Structure formats: C-alpha cells, structure tokens
Amino acid sequence: MLPEWIISLFLSIVNVYSLSDGGWFTAPNAILVEPGPCNIAFINGSLSQEKFLDYFAYKKPFRIDQASDNLKFQKACTKENLIKNYGEKIIRLSTANTYSYEKVDVSLQDYISHYLKPQRLKTPGNETLYWFGDNDASWNAFFNIYKPPPFELPGMIPAYSFGAAAAGTGVPFHFHGPGFAEMVYGQKRWFLYPPDQIPDFHPNQTTLQWFFNEYPKLSKKDKPFECTISPGQAIYFPDRWWHATLNINNGVFISTFLGPK
C-alpha cells in the first residue's frame, strides 16, 4: 500500500488540475489539433461601444480578452457543479452537420456519461450528436449569472446558447445573425468567411474532416479568417458571416446571439 503522503500529493495534483479545467479533462485518445494562427483583430483591454459600432459591428470579426468578469459563472460550469445542479435536466442534442437534421433529448448526466467522447475522423456530422444550444426557459436563472460582452447592436436583443462538447467536435460551416461566443473551459478554433465568400464544404462533413482533408489544400486567397479562443476570451462575428468551429479539447461555451427585438 502506498504511503499516505504520496496519496495526498497525488490527490492534490489531481485537484489542482481539475480546478484549472473545471474537471473537463480531455481523453488521451483524442485527435490533437493545434490552436493555429489568429488573423483577426485582438482587443486586449477596453473597447468602447462607439468604436465597436464604427469598426466591427457590421464589418469584421474580432477576439476580445476578459470582456466581462465571469469567475462566478465559470465556477458554476465545472463538471461537478453542472452534474450536481442540472444532471437530471433534459437537454436537446443536435447532429453536428450544417442543417442539424436530427434532435435527441437526453439528461445532462447521460450526455456527459455516454455522448461526450472525442470525435472520430471517420464519423460524419449527421451521425455526431452535440450539445450546443436549444436551451429552454428553465435555464434562465443559470444564465442570469453570466455577464455577456458589454456591446449592443441597435434594435437587437441577446439570446443565449450554452453547451459542452468533446475534443474534435464542432459545428461545420453555416451562417446566421451576429453574436459573441465565449469559452468557459477549453479552447475552440474558429474559421470564418465573409458573406460573399462561400466556403467549399459538404454539409455532412464535420469540421474535423474539413480541417484534415480540405483545409491543407486551400490557396492563400481561399484561407479563412481564423482564431482560437480560450477561457475568458470571446469572438464576435457579424451578420451572415460563414463560420465553423473545432473544439481543441473538451470545453464549455456560451454564445450571445443578437436578434431583432
């Protein structure tokens, strides 16, 4: 039997590691993807509402660091706390393809236990179930803890989309209205194209498949805007910009979609 001090040391290391990633550690058999370059504006500090409207809101994406203090929300999103407080709650999964054909309702505990697994390269998007939204009104009290980036678009109101996913998963190319997406735990790599530059992709192809099979073949002029965001960082995408996401490791994330009042 191991000495008590060795056991204590091991447990302390595990606890520190768990706190740093919220307990959402990545399985060792996950396909590893590097963070990659960042070729969009990076705002490290204050950005006024006026400059947001003048330079970014309708024109181009950007990454912002520590836009709001969300330490309380981050603590609520540890794996342990989500299971403890919301494990029995029914969540809606969607297939990770462009049009999200299939929806499946499971408990959060069931999703974490049976669905939250590293993406396999051969598995198509229409066979990959992923939790990235469809949050009903029962989540409103939870969302009240979150502080979104402090920017507004005239005539629009925010709606939240919350989820958790495993390494290698992601949403393939699609577009919708403008919004912010923030990482709570983990890292997510983003690929973006302006509305007039339609990316070449198959709607049932996962982002992981696109990244390994198509991305390396792109010419310089066909390369996307891209950036990786980490906990406490958010990315902004304007209206109708194409975007795809790729979770580098297990992660928790929340988006603030902006829509008409």
31-73, pLDDT tens digit by residue? 888 999 999 999 987 899 999 999 999 999 999 998 789 999 9
* Residue among 140, 183, 174 at smallest CA distance from 159: 140
Q: What dotted CATH number matches 36-260?
A: 2.60.120.650
Instruction: Write down the residue that tokens 């890292």 correspond to.
Output: 187
Question: Mean of the pLDDT values across residues 150-168?
Answer: 95
Model confidence at 9, in pLDDT bands (50, 70, 90)? very low
Strands 62-65 and 90-95: unpaired
89-126: string of b/e by CB count within 10 Å (b at 16+)? eebbbbbbbbebeeeeebebebbbeebbbbbeeeeebb
The single-letter DSSP state of residue 174 is B
The whole model's pTM is what? 0.89
Q: DSSP 3-state assignment of 4?
A: helix
Question: Mean of the pLDDT values across residues 145-150?
Answer: 94
Beta strands in 120-212 (DSSP E): 129-132, 156-165, 179-185, 188-193
Question: Mean of the pLDDT values across residues 170-190?
Answer: 95
64 neighbors 233 (Cβ within 8 angstroms)? yes
Question: Mean of the pLDDT values across residues 98-126?
Answer: 91
Amino acid at 85: N
Phi, psi (5° rounding) for residue 123? -80, 120
pLDDT value, residue 8: 38
Percent pLDDT > 90 in the chain is 78
The angle at the Cα of 163, spanning 157 to 164, to the nearest 5 degrees, equals: 155
Domain locations in the chain as residue ranges: 36-260
Question: Mean of the pLDDT values across residues 107-126?
Answer: 94
CA distance linking residue 110 with residue 90, whole number of Å: 9
Alpha-carbon 123 to chain mean position: 20
Q: Please give the structure tokens belonging to residue 212.
A: 């390994």
The angle at the Cα of 32, spanning 180 to 24, to the nearest 5 degrees, equals: 60
Q: DSSP 3-state assignment of 258?
A: strand
Q: Please give the structure tokens belonging to residue 239.
A: 């209206």
Model confidence at 100, in pLDDT bands (50, 70, 90)? confident
CA distance linking residue 170 with residue 97, whole number of Å: 9
Alpha-carbon 36 to chain mean position: 16
* Residue among 244, 248, 245, 237 at smallest CA distance from 149: 237
pLDDT value, residue 115: 93
